[in-house]
Amino acid sequence: MKEKLQFSTLCTSEVHTTESSAHILPIHASSSFRFDSVEASIEVFTGKKEGYVYGRYGNPTIKAVESKLATLEGYDLEEPCRALLTSSGMSAIHTLLLSQLRPGDAVLTQGNLYGGTTELLLKTFGSLDIETIMVDLSNAESVRSALIGHNNIKCLYLETPTNPTLDCIDIKTIASIAKENGCLVAVDNTFATPYLQRPLTLGADFVIHSTTKYLNGHGNGIAGVIIGRSSEVLWPIIWQNMKLAGTNCNPFDAWLVHNGLKTLPLRMDRQCQNAKALAQFLDHHPSVAKVNYPGLATHASHQIAKDQMTDFGAMLSFEVKGEEKEALAVMNGLDIASIAPTLGDVDTLVLHPWTSSHLNVDNDVCLKNGITPNLIRVSVGIEDQDDLVQDFRQAIEKVISV
């Protein structure tokens, strides 16, 4: 039997479609698919034979990329996985949760989710009479008592590491508590990627990604994905919801994700190394008040991150000594890092959560979650490490005298 290939080899390998012998995956830019006869079309329409019909239902380019994503996220599993690419990370979350939840049900989650997800749960799902219960998911006892106190909780939805303070949640522990209570477990694995963390192995039923971030890696497309074991009973309804709401990915964005995946391990290794170096530099700088990076032994989640991730990721945040004014001035003073509200690109990006991603979150909620006016979030890129550290040094020292 052939030996199982390493994760990075699978990332780099081409995927092919039976429709073409091109070495590199072609973009099938076609809204519909032709049949040789009406009889052949009837076989596909009635489900007797597999085949492509219409772009919103599926496309060979998209299917090839889905197969690769399923292989990577399910890398440690014996069972096969399935993936469904969607138009964005938000539509992946929306499509998955809509397939599971009914009026009267509740979702158990954390207060420090991606902002769009919090809004989706409170506004869109709230209007459908689906309740959102937020607790500190790093505390197993609060998870247990929430589940005991609300028998309508049907789904545990979580993110780890969290944005922007990089707190980590022990997936294995709380997934097992949720499963004991008959809950579906869904994890947003955008920050870690399957290269660093595999929630399906740790007990999750479904993983979603904003592939817009690390999986694409180059900041040139928006897409998302839902991944779970092929045997999940929810798949027919998930696919139906995607098809009927038109939350499908387009072939070009799927192709860009595939192009990005080829270098995921290389990019991630370099980005993790750079993040570690930058975190250590900031941690020792007298004008920096606090650094949030799970790779630092002083970070509250260091041990959990070490246990469930193969490296600590490339996201970090830090508080400069001073107020909002000093944080903004440091950001404006950066030459290499760009100010942009995304993450996971090959170049370093900074964001000021207080005035951007968390602008619509109440100040006291922000402060309770460690989001202060002097906090800067960094998505660390693949630049030369010394150049990067020097950029932050000059920006900080220009503003705050040591």
Residue identified by tokens 């780099």 is: 12
11, 90, 158, 349: which one contacts ligand PLP (CB under 6 A)?
90
Q: Which of 254, 246, 200 lies closest to 85 in space, CA to CA?
A: 254
Burial 106-136, CB ≥16 within 10 A → b, else e: bbbbbebbbbebbbbbeeebeeeebbbebbb
Contact flag: residue 94 with ligand PLP (CB under 6 A): no
CA-to-CA distance for 197 and 390, rounded, in angstroms?
A: 30
CA-to-CA distance for 333 and 320, rounded, in angstroms?
A: 13
Interface with ligand PLP (CB under 6 A), residue total 16
213, 270, 276, 285: which one contacts ligand PLP (CB under 6 A)?
213
161, 219, 221, 224: which one contacts ligand PLP (CB under 6 A)?
224
Contact flag: residue 51 with ligand PLP (CB under 6 A): no
Instruction: Give every CB contact of residue 402 below 8 A, 6+ residues apart in sequence.
Output: 286, 287
Residue in the shown chain whose Cβ atom is closest to ligand PLP: 89
Nearer to ligand PLP, 162 or 274 (CB): 162
Contact flag: residue 88 with ligand PLP (CB under 6 A): yes
Nearer to ligand PLP, 100 or 357 (CB): 357
Q: Smallest distance from the beta carbon of 3 to ligand PLP, in angstroms?
A: 34
DSSP state letters, 2-15: PPPPPHHHHHHS--
* Cβ atoms of 69 and 225 closer than 8 Å: yes
66, 105, 131, 159: which one contacts ligand PLP (CB under 6 A)?
159
Q: Could you tell me the sign of the dihedral formed by the alpha carbons of 187, 124, 243, 191, in that order?
A: negative
66, 167, 188, 311: which one contacts ligand PLP (CB under 6 A)?
188
Q: Smallest distance from the beta carbon of 114 to ligand PLP, in angstroms?
A: 4
Binding mask 111-140 for ligand PLP (x = CB under 6 A): ---x-xx-----------------------
Q: Smallest distance from the beta carbon of 266 to ligand PLP, in angstroms?
A: 21
Q: Taking the C-alpha atoms of 250, 233, 151 and 96 in order, what is their torsion angle to the nearest 10 degrees?
A: 0
* Cβ atoms of 389 and 289 closer than 8 Å: no
Nearer to ligand PLP, 89 or 228 (CB): 89
60, 89, 217, 265: which one contacts ligand PLP (CB under 6 A)?
89
Instruction: Give every CB contact of residue 18 below 8 A, 6+ residues apart in sequence.
Output: 60
- Provide the token pair at 25: 């995956």
Q: Smallest distance from the beta carbon of 312 to ligand PLP, in angstroms?
A: 16
210, 248, 348, 372: which one contacts ligand PLP (CB under 6 A)?
210
> Contact positions toward ligand PLP, by CB under 6 A?
88-90, 114, 116-117, 159, 163, 188, 190-191, 210, 212-213, 222, 224
